[in-house]
Every structure is written in C-alpha cells, then in structure tokens.
Structure 1
C-alpha cells in the first residue's frame, strides 16, 4: 500500500513539475509585413510602371533603413511586392485580389492608370485595405470609397490648367483635340480641356476620337479632319506612345501647329519615339526635376545614382505615395486598415511634390507645373497653383 502511495505521489510531482516548467510563449521582437504595388510593367505605357515600382521601392528601403515602425511593441519592417497589371483593368483586378487575399498587404501603391485604379479601388475598398495611387488623375477614382487616396492632382484641374495656358499665355484662340475614347483618363482630360478653353472664349474646332491607343497606329483619318479646320493648337490628352506617333503623322501631313497634352506625356520615350515632331510640345505635370529645392534635388541625386536616370513625375509621385502610406502606418502603429486610413486622412506628410493635405474626397490640394520639350529635353516653364 505504501509503495502504491509513493508511486502515486511521484507521478503527481512529475506532473506538477511538467505543468510548472511549461515554456512561456516568447513574443517576437521583430516582424515583417507586406506592402503591395500595382504597376504597368508591360504594355504600351511600361515606362510609367517602371517609375512607379522604382519610386515606391526607394521609399520602402528608406523606411526600413530608418527602423520601420513599432506595432504593439514589435519592430515592424516592410516586404515590398510589386504586381504587373499590363495596363489592363482585368489584370489589375486579379493583382489586387492576389495582394489582398494571399499576401495580406497593409496597403496598395497604385495602380498607375486611372482605368486600372477604377477596377482595383472597389476591391481594396471592400477589403478595407488603403490604396493610394500616385498618378491616377481621373476624378472618379477616389469617389469609390474612403480607403482610396491619390498623391496627384485631378483631371478637372489639369485640363483647365492647360486650357488657360494655351488661351492666356500662348494667346491661341482655336484648338483641336484628338483622344482615346476607350480610356477614362484620356476622355476625361479631353472634356475638361474643351470646357475650360471654351469658357475662356476659345473655340474647339475639332473634337476627334479613336479607340485603344495601345493598338492604334494610324491616325491619318482623324488628322485629315483636324487639318481641315485649321486649328492654332493641337491638344493630345493621351499617353506618350500615341502622342508621339500622332505628332509624327501630323507633321508629315503638314499640320505643324503647337501641340500639348497632360502628364501622360511624361516619359523619356516621348522624344525617343517622336523625335523632332514633339519639339516645342507643352504638357501639364506634377513635378519637375529642375525644381531647385534641396528636398527635390536630394531625391533626384539619390534616384539617379540608384537607377541610372533622373526621376520623372511618376517616380516622384510613387515615392510620395509610398512614403505617405508608410508614414501613416508608423503614426497609427497598427496593421489594421481602418487605423492606417484614418492616419492618412489627417496626414501632415511633406513629399517631393509638395506638402499633402487631403480634401473631403481624399484628393490632395497641390499645384501643377508646365513642361516644354526644348532641344529634346524636358524644360520647366511655370508652376500653376490651384
């Protein structure tokens, strides 16, 4: 009996020691979370996607190097995941689902094109994941919901800026417009330029369209109609590839009037494709590498060293968009989408393209710049405030 009792006692003691010595869960001192981007790395506007990826990558690397953020007492750094949308809304939507559902990103930088952002935004909104596009200027993008932001001005402002510049500064009273009616960006910008130009007292003598600038290569039918109206200015609110091709065909036809467009012209390939045909062209933009502010020049130097070429506005805005979202993440100290969103709404972030303050639609209030192609180079002309 005593022996049985002793055995029972030993077993109890062993069990007690086992319970008492159970290893406590060790809280991690560091963690990594994912941040996504959606960029048009392939397709007719691939230079935009490259710039978006490069600018965001730089911002993430600097954020991590500076120590990241503290989330619940844990040091948190960022793993950056960039997805290619190929300039397609459908591909962009699939990329958004992948980033949100599989990668569990805390936010999305992009998309670059308005038509893709309009496909991505409802997905991000439904999932409660903040999305901030550096360059989607179509006015309806942020109206999708309160998780959707942008780092750029919008097309009503951009189109009006160019309308005012052509009428008041260049003193031209008639204009023709040729645009892609299958793209929300191009169509919106065309309409806002027309409205602004006519409000000033100018006359749009031709308003011609085509569909799908990635596939269209012959614009002679529209240009023939435009030439017959004898315009003083040709407005091309299209991306750089088609704008350059249109101008080459226009010049070959003897349509040698001044021309211009929007921020879709901002690519080194504009001159590579268009050559002398784009010389003297003017366009509205968000940023100029010629800005003499120390902040801009420091960014230009670092970017040029890292990537071997100067940044365009798409790179600067992606850098700002990523920097702004990461600053909000750090301020919130949370991976929860609603916390990051709220910090973004109230941001005091100062970026490369200016200080950020959002209006009720989460659109920033900021100036535009006018750029002119002179001797094959982008040259700063003027800054236009809202």
Structure 2
C-alpha cells in the first residue's frame, strides 16, 4: 500500500511538473524548406530565426522553445509539417515560409486550427487572402511588381519589356502578372512572354525568341538558381537587354552560378542589405551580430526576414500580455510600427506588411543596395 501511495504521488507530481513546464514555455513552430529546390533560402531564414531566438530567448519570463520542421520544398509536406507542429508539438504560433505555394498549403492547416502563422518571404497575395490567422513580414507581389515596373519604365527609361515565367510557380506567375499590369499602365509595351517549368536547365529556345523581339528589358520572376542560369545563357546568346527580377533573386549564390553574366542585374527586395549605406541601428546590429555568428558568410534579406518574423511574434506576445494563440493573433493584427531589420512595419487590414521596395544591383560581382522606389500602382 505504501509503495502504491508513493507511486501515485510520483505520478501526480510528474503531471504537475509537466503542466508547470508547459505553462512556463512559449512554443513557436518553424516550417521552412531545408531540403529541395528552395533549401538555400529556407536555411538562411532558419538561421535568422535561430539568431533572434538566441538574442531573445524569453518573453514574459517564459523560455521560448523553437520546433523546426523541414517542409522539403513540397506543398504536401508543408501542410504535413504544420499539422505536426500543431498536433504533436502544441505550438502557440508558427513561422514560415520561404515560397508562397508552401505558405498557402501550410496556412490552410494553421487557419483551421486557429494558430497564428507569420510568413517570412511569401509574397503572393493569396497567402493571407481571406485569412484571420495568417500574417507576413514581407510586402506582396502587386506592390513589388509595380516597384520593378516603375523603376524600369520611369527611372531607367525602358519602354519595351519581355518576360520569362515559371508556370509551375505561384510566385513567378503572380509577380509576372503584376509587373505586366503596372508596366503597361505606365505606357510600356510587352513584346513577349515565354514560359518554363521549375527544374528546367535549358532556356536557349525561349531566349532566342525573346532576343528576336528586341525588348529593352527582360523581367524574370525566378528563384535565384534558375535565374542565374537564364542570365548566363542569355549572355552566351549575345543578349544586350537589361535583366531584372524579384526578391527570390536576392541570394549571394547568383554570382557563383551566373559569373560575369549577372553583372548589371537588378532586382527588387525588402529594405535590407549589408551593403546599405544608411542602415538603421537595428539593421546594423543584426549585420554585426550575423557576421560574428557566421564568419565569412554574409547575411541577406531572407535571414533578416526570418529574424523579423520571430521578433514580431514576441512583440505581439508582449503587447498581448500572454501567449494564447487568440491573443497573439489579435496583437499581430494591431501591429502598426514594429521596428525590424527590414524597416518599420505596419500590418494592414489584409495582414500584409507595409514597407518600402528596395533595389539591389550587381556591380563588379557584388550586390549593391541602390535605394528604394515608391511604386506607381
């Protein structure tokens, strides 16, 4: 009987300790592409999240615990990853992800479970459309596409444009649509739109056709690896037009893949780059901390967005005064002046971040932050 009583007491104490531990910990899930096509961007964002967690490991006196799941650059895996974070790990908020189609797949699960999700670099408008629990720290493609079109037409004076679009990517198709809409509204002429599929390596047929149309600018809403190959093959074919792209090209590996062919390439991005001349105190601290943590590896905007996604959730928890998912959701929706690495962020009525469109150009083999553009919508 005495042994039975002691065993019962141990069970009760164990359950009490588990309840205390759960109450004493804030659980944040992270689902990012750590393998597959988008792995490089996903890894950068994870490192940004992890650095933020290291710098701010507690909130409201509670330890913040990260639970990381690889979505494998796959829509089905993205949904499964979020399901696991919610059902198994019992997270109170989720960060992710790089890749709009992955964010949409995971977002459906978060929305049904009423768990707030903060996207990192998922810019397609559909990510948050009609959603109560889905947010992001990045601007959306209509704004970014208009920024690229405004810069091409008004700043550079380019009047004729062509596009090469990945029809298997929601990001690529969406950004192309918004670039074309803004470019033609400004008075520009579209002389051709050709397609490819994710994973293609040979673009010579499409590029030969585009060269024959004699555009002033080729817009490639591609991910960095394919975009760099497109530029390399365009140079080999003797193309002389300007080439521009979107934020998914913001990756230091493009110079490794494309070599001299990427010289002069310009892409839109979020307002952060280590080459910025007048960065904020927060951006400077992030840059210095990153270089100390990862010697020889420069930060980029994806790592900054990962950092900001973590910090904006902590900011919401602090303002809410508790880590309840509903309270976090409400506080995120009320965010008006969050100071992040990628600038001051306001969350608007559609749960998208409002911040300037940055511009980066490759000069002498290095990324140079050119400044910001106000899009003409």
| TM-score (ref. length: structure 2) | 0.90
String of CA shifts for 1:284-339, please: whole Å, max 9, x gaps: 00022233222211110101111222211111111111100112122223232111
Q: CA RMSD in A?
A: 1.7
Indicate the residue corresponding to 2:211 in structure 1: 227
Match of 1:115 in 2: 101
**Residue in 1 that maps onto 2:4:** none
For 1:54, which of 26, 47, 51 is the aligned residue?
47
2:251 equivalent among 255, 267, 274: 267
**1: distance between equivalents of 2:109 and 2:346?**
25
Which of these residues, 293, 300, 303, is aligned with residue 287 of structure 2? Answer: 300
Match of residue 353 from structure 1:
342
Structure 2 counterpart of 1:254: 238
Max radius of gyration: which structure? Answer: 1
Structure 1: distance between partners of 2:226 and 2:353: 29
Within-5 A mapping of 1:273-352: 273-286=257-270, 287-291=272-276, 292=278, 293-308=280-295, 309-347=297-335, 348-352=337-341
Matching residue within 28, 47, 59 for 1:69? 59
State the Cα distance separating 1:167 from its structure 2 match. 0.8
Q: 1:366 to 1:379 in 2, by over 3 A?
A: same
Query: How high is the TM-score relative to the length of structure 1?
Result: 0.88
**Aligned mates of 1:385, 1:202 — CA distance in 2:** 18
Tell me the equivalent position of 2:6: none
* Inter-partner Cα distance in structure 2 for 1:132 and 1:184: 19
**Structure 1 gap segments, 5+ residues each:** 1-21
- Would the aligned equivalents of 1:45 and 1:241 in 2 still touch at CA under 8 Å? no
Superposed CA offset, 1:123-144 (max 9, x none): 0011111100111000111114
Consecutive unaligned residues of structure 2, counting only runs of 5 or more, are: 1-11
Work out the CA distance in 2 between the residues paired with 1:290 and 1:245.
Answer: 24
1:242 aligned partner: 226
In 2, Cα distance between the equivalents of 1:384 and 1:299? 23
CA deviation profile, 1:176-200 (whole Å, cap 9, x unmatched)? 1001011110001111111111111
Question: Does the CA-based 8 Å contact 2:147-2:374 persist in structure 1?
Answer: no
- Whether the aligned pair in 1 keeps the contact of 2:38 and 2:99 (CA below 8 Å) is no
Q: Distance in 2 between matches of 1:161 and 1:263?
A: 11
Determine if contact 1:174/1:232 at 8 Å carries over to the other structure: yes
Q: C-alpha offsets along residues 206-245 of structure 1, whole Å, 9 cap, x if unaligned?
A: 1111122xx2111112112111111111110000000001
| Mapped contact 2:93–2:117 kept (Cα < 8 A) | yes
Query: How many Å separate the matches in 2 of 1:86 and 1:218?
Result: 24
1:151-230 → structure 2 map (5 Å cutoff): 151-212=137-198, 215-230=199-214
- Give the Cα separation in 1 of the matches to 2:110 and 2:373: 32
The aligned residue for residue 25 of structure 2 is 32
